[in-house]
Structure 1
Amino acid sequence: MDKEPLYVRIAFTLEKQIRSGGWKIGEKLPSLRTICTEYGVSMNTSIQAYLELERKGMIESRPKSGFFVSNSCQYRLTIPTISQPSPLAGLLDTEALIKKVHDSLVDPSMINLSVGIPDERLLPVAKLNKELVNAMRSLQGSGTAYEDTQGNLKLRKNIARWAFAWEGGLTAEDIVSTSGAINALFYCLMATTKHGDTIAVESPAYFGILQLAKSLGLKIMELPTHPITGIEPDALKKVLPKINACVLVSNFSNPLGSCMPEENKIAVVRMLTEQGIPLIEDDLYGDLYFGTARPKPCKAFDSEGIVLWCGSMSKTLAPGYRVGWVAPGKFKEQVIQLKLTHAISSTSITQEVIANFLENGRYENHLRSMRRTLQGNCLNFIRTIGENFPKNTKVNRPQGGFTLWLEMDKKKDTSVLYDKALRHRISIAPGRIFTLQNQFQNCLRLNYGSIWNESVKQALEKLGHLVKGMR
């Protein structure tokens, strides 16, 4: 938190006071001069702090009157229920629906609320372009040569250095670069399972993980999952004799947005270690936290090398660069051999670009700005949903990441809603694609990684109108 600008720290303090009830809805906040005096800051810093709160929808300004706690800042919608999947492996086929959702991405006229990637306007494109030129100048053959199979050394060093933020204790030798996180997950599943094995996943789970596991002939057991705290450790304990591996998105899961408490992560790693069951951890969203510190991944509590920690820059820097990695623990040699067999090496030039960008503090500066934007977007989405969707709509409360998970009346079918929304040039992700069981038909995922503007606001209002009109 000390690295944050002073106005952000003041805004964060006031936000906590508002959320705890210290300031009531409609109550007038201290004047700008009072903030200057109380915090010993300039008028400009006070103004920036209030603008930050206004951007998040926490307060509103009234001409000649001052700043007041917004009526909508504490709009309370119930959180979704804990999932209760069947203890049997799922068989439902959702590939046709997933393809429909992905096909809408190529249409520039579409308001994309479906796929969990950042709007390109949130990315440092100009700086990446500059590093692209530098990479062509510095790399052998301007980047046309093969990299070492384990991956670009500079990239691996910087990923290991970045992991010190969560006390990772990794070195460049612990890391293997991949073509994005899904490629890392593929190598991990190949290294730890065989055809016919059973893996445990969250429910709902990212559809890419479900598709990947199915393509490898694996059985999938979905676990009960809380929308705030993630999988239930006791539920995992019950199925340990039946599973060969576990795949979790422990920090700000996709699509539910849950973040496992540290004690749960420790418990999960301990029980899997005792049984010799590998944990494949997808930590794509860990850097996109809204609090004061990055949550640790399960890998931070792994003493025996059973956690295969996967990540990428697809959600924070450059989705199209396909730069990812895995710290595979005791499965390192198997992963390197699989990469050699399936890819020989990763793309030289994009690895070099990302490696260069990770140096000199630029990545942290970019993340600070991105996190503030995403948190503001999240609050704006929740407020607009509360004002326009049916009153019994349930919404998660993510503390990071990109996604909102909505649960509606059981009679609402979001696959039908998807087709209705598409006719209005709005793309959503129906809940049914995040499971292989007969569940979540009344749920949907929304991506708030766009730029908040009037078009997005109107799209959400239209969605609420469409939901209300469904019989």
Structure 2
Amino acid sequence: MKNTQIKRYQQLAEELAEGIQAGVLRPGERLPSVRQTCVQRGMSPSTVFQAYGQLESRGLVEARARSGFYVRAGRRAPRAVPQAAQPRDEATPVAVSELVYALLDSTRDTDVIPLGSAFPASHLFPFDALARSGARAMRRLPATRITGALTAGDEGLRQALRRRYALHGVPMAENEPIITNGAMEALNLCLQAVTKPGDLVVVESPTFYAALHALERLHLNAVEVATDPRDGVDVDALGELLSRQKVAACWFMPSFQNPLGALMPPARKQALVELLAHHRVPLIEDDVYGELHAGARRPPPAKAFDRDGWVLHCSSFSKCLAPGYRVGWAAAGRFAPTVERLKMMSSLATALPPQLAVAEYLAQGGYDRHLRGLREALAAQQQRALRLVERHFPTGTRVTRPLGGYFLWLELPPPVDALALHHRAREHAISTAPGVLFSADRRFTHHLRLNVGHPGDARFDGALRRLGELAQGV
């Protein structure tokens, strides 16, 4: 689908890229501020941010905290971005759980350097403050509320979430959100609400292996849709697929997709929501990384464009505030009553103490300050990791440059077997997540997802150097 906003930010990015390559904009020079560019070109701030973000993802500029965007001093051309996959347009039964369990078991070992884990470093989270918040909340809690927990969740936490989403332009109905045991319960409940065994579900290519787990458990079939490593799901390709196949639902991660880190531009998200509403196909939106943006503003979720209730939006605090507390939620639109009923039938309610701890922490007003520090730490660590990949990995390696989150997706030269590399790295106490985990048909045999969310870990640089050396010999 064509879109004028996409054209405008791409045009601005190309003009600036040409200026950089021609030497008009020199290394170390500051780009015009977003405000200046808006005035000079008559563009919206979001359009300018997208253009600057694309330049950053291409390695041409770098963002400096509270200072702006600067032309990078490029000693060498940056690594190319991985190529978009061309998945087969056919349903695939899912059977990946044994492989995932076997390969990711090593991430539980604290002596292993966790490049294959799903969580950032624990020291990035305010566990002491959360514990104090939980103690204060529990001291004030009447005993009758402990045994009277509602299926939909603590109303104070639900109100706090509704207020926060409203500030980002995402209204929620009174029966939203439903508090769940982490985002995975929310996603599984939403999937159950809109499918039956044997149905076809569209996923990204590559997709997060937990989505494949859920499809496997419910005896659903997967079909992959082309997904750009920078801009996410190809809406035109999805439209063609929907015209040919009967699809029960789509499960997508539009913001900082795992494993690619792709961020769908707002206009593409809107086109996606409108397309699915036209076909009356539910969208299960996994938005657990939405708060981990490197830019100035949180990208709007697909839910922001939902007018007819076809988006089942799921998220949690596990990746941005409270790993292990298992506090997630689902804003399921027209399917909210069904999701709440399924929640009651499966786990009845979510544990109250973690909900109260998070609600009390939010009420104290430190959440956004914590997020700013977390985002800065992750963005700086990503740049460090990219420099190490450029120096130490084989010639021909391609790597993503996400605008948020903490994953890098590497496309290694075709002779490299990423599964064999995973086993060799494990001998050196390094875990990885090989690409075969991220597709129902186990493609992506020479791809890796790397978790770079571990600033301050003295082992990190050496692990990436060693992994690059091992890749040279696989």
- Range class of TM-score, shorter chain: 0.7 to 0.9
The residue number in structure 2 matching 1:181 is 183
- Give the deviation of 1:91 after TM superposition: 3.8
Could you list the per-position Cα deviations for residues 289-342 of structure 1 after superposition, in whole angstroms to 9, with x for gaps in the alignment? Answer: 011111111111111101011000010111211000011100011011000000
- Give the deviation of 1:224 after TM superposition: 0.7
Structure 2 counterparts to residues 422-461 of structure 1, below 5 A:
422-461=426-465
- Give the deviation of 1:229 after TM superposition: 0.6
Q: Is the 8 A contact 1:421 1:428 kept in 2?
A: yes
What 5-or-longer segments of structure 2 have no aligned partner?
1-15, 31-60, 65-69
- Give the deviation of 1:72 after TM superposition: 6.0
- Give the deviation of 1:404 after TM superposition: 0.5
Distance 2:396 2:254 in 1: 28
Task: Point out the more displaced range, 159-168 or 243-252.
Answer: 159-168
Q: Is the 8 A contact 1:305 1:329 kept in 2?
A: yes
The residue number in structure 2 matching 1:337 is 341
Within the candidate set 305, 324, 329, 2:328 is matched to 324
Distance 1:130 1:261 in 2: 39
The residue number in structure 2 matching 1:38 is none
The residue number in structure 2 matching 1:118 is 120
- Give the deviation of 1:375 after TM superposition: 0.3
* Residue 232 (1) aligns with residue 234 (2): yes
* Residue 265 (1) aligns with residue 269 (2): yes
Structure 2 counterparts to residues 60-75 of structure 1, below 5 A:
none
- Give the deviation of 1:274 after TM superposition: 1.2
Could you list the per-position Cα deviations for residues 61-108 of structure 1 after superposition, in whole angstroms to 9, with x for gaps in the alignment? Answer: xxxxxxx98756875010000111111122463323311333112211
Task: Point out the more displaced range, 376-385 or 359-368.
Answer: 359-368
Could you list the per-position Cα deviations for residues 95-126 of structure 1 after superposition, in whole angstroms to 9, with x for gaps in the alignment? Answer: 23311333112211111011221211000111
Task: Point out the more displaced range, 308-317 or 113-122.
Answer: 113-122
* TM superposition score normalised by structure 2: 0.84
- Give the deviation of 1:438 after TM superposition: 4.0
- Give the deviation of 1:136 after TM superposition: 2.0
Distance 2:416 2:98 in 1: 20
Task: Point out the more displaced range, 166-175 or 277-286.
Answer: 166-175
The residue number in structure 2 matching 1:150 is 152
Q: Is the 8 A contact 1:428 1:445 kept in 2?
A: yes
Partner letter of residue 425 of structure 2?
A: A
Q: Is the 8 A contact 1:75 1:383 kept in 2?
A: no
Could you list the per-position Cα deviations for residues 236-270 of structure 1 after superposition, in whole angstroms to 9, with x for gaps in the alignment? Answer: 11121421111110000000110111111111111
Within the candidate set 63, 83, 86, 2:85 is matched to 83
Distance 1:70 1:333 in 2: 51
3-state SS of the aligned residue for 1:199? Answer: strand
- Give the deviation of 1:172 after TM superposition: 4.8
3-state SS of the aligned residue for 2:214? Answer: helix
| Pairwise CA RMSD | 2.5
Distance 2:63 2:325 in 1: 39
The residue number in structure 2 matching 1:313 is 317
The residue number in structure 2 matching 1:388 is 392
Within the candidate set 222, 225, 232, 1:223 is matched to 225
* TM superposition score normalised by structure 1: 0.84
3-state SS of the aligned residue for 1:268? Answer: helix
- Give the deviation of 1:394 after TM superposition: 0.4
The residue number in structure 2 matching 1:200 is 202
Within the candidate set 277, 281, 286, 1:282 is matched to 286
3-state SS of the aligned residue for 2:365? Answer: helix
Distance 1:163 1:22 in 2: 42
3-state SS of the aligned residue for 2:469? Answer: helix
Q: Is the 8 A contact 2:94 2:220 kept in 1?
A: no
3-state SS of the aligned residue for 1:468? Answer: helix
3-state SS of the aligned residue for 2:116? Answer: coil
The residue number in structure 2 matching 1:9 is none
* Residue 369 (1) aligns with residue 373 (2): yes
Classify 1:393/1:149 alpha carbon distance in 2 versus 1 (closer, same or farther; 3 Å): same
Distance 1:196 1:287 in 2: 34
Could you list the per-position Cα deviations for residues 25-67 of structure 1 after superposition, in whole angstroms to 9, with x for gaps in the alignment? Answer: 4x699xxxxxxxxxxxxxxxxxxxxxxxxxxx9699xxxxxxx
- Give the deviation of 1:386 after TM superposition: 0.2
- Give the deviation of 1:182 after TM superposition: 0.7
3-state SS of the aligned residue for 1:325? Answer: strand
What 5-or-longer segments of structure 1 have no aligned partner?
1-15, 30-56, 61-67
